[in-house]
Amino acid sequence: MTKRLDGKVAWVTGAGSGIGEAAAVALAAAGATVVLTGRTAAKLEAVAAQIGTAAHVEAADMADAAAVARVAEAIQARFGRCDILVNNAGLNIVERAWTKLSPEGVRELVEGNLMSAFHAAIAVLPMMRAQGDGVMIHTASMAGRNVSPMSGPGYTAAKHAVVAMSHSINVEECANGIRSTAMCPGEVRTPILDKRPNKLSEQELGEMVQPQDCGELVLFLATRPAHVCINEVWITPTRNRGYLAQVARKL
């Protein structure tokens, strides 16, 4: 049986859709108060409407360090604590191959995937240190562990860095009761797929991990006992298109 999160405060970034939305819904259903952050207030309000009074909208661009700090200050002022950070904001671009990649595209990927994650972690750490407790769950990617043309070099490099960032938090902050998890999904049916150069069929989309699967995993990670740290976890489709492609080449 999943532990309840009554009295806990969770900050979910990239909460307007996909994994972030599913995570916020799952955490709130377990009793947590959830703070929803993302760039588009209307999307956040729609998620908040699903959840009810346990949801609080704090719109911000996670690539903007000052804006992120203001959200953390608002959480501190309103609730006096932050127990769970779901560091989920991220993006990809269409022009991702080296033959098409531009410095501007790389900057967008680094700011949207890596700097955004650092901004949230830096902003929330003082509250967690003061509590002597806290859980961070960073949405990395299988692209943070494997190199593939599918994700593109910029996204792959940024997500590798997110994985390293998460592990470094455990090295420095474990004495403060803080646990950090790098969550590495394979293909998940989220709006980021709209940025794929090649569109996928409904069958292919249906065979992927669904956002709710990741939401349930986030809830599991957030409810482990304080003496347990899940350092890294992969969640992938059973019918893994990357594996199938490898087998096909060998055969």
Please identify every residue annotated as catalytic: 155
Q: Tell me the C-alpha to C-alpha distance, in Å, between residue 102 and each of 47, 56, 161, 183, 237.
A: 34, 37, 20, 28, 31
205/62 Cα distance (integer angstroms):
28
192/198 Cα distance (integer angstroms):
12
The CB-based long-range contact list for 207-210 (8 Å cut-off, 24+ gap) reads 207/237, 207/238, 207/239, 208/237, 209/185, 209/235, 209/236, 209/237
Q: For the beta carbon of residue 202, count every other beta carbon within 10 angstroms.
A: 7
Structure tokens at 247: 């087998």
**If you ran DSSP here, which 8-state letter would residue 188 be given?**
B
List, in order, residues 6 or more apart from 38 with CB less than 8 Å away.
13, 14, 15, 16, 20, 44, 59, 60, 62, 89
Q: Half-sphere exposure of residue 247, counting CA atoms within 13 Å on the CB side?
A: 6
Q: For the beta carbon of residue 66, count every other beta carbon within 10 angstroms.
A: 9
Three-class DSSP category at 208: coil
144/184 Cα distance (integer angstroms):
7
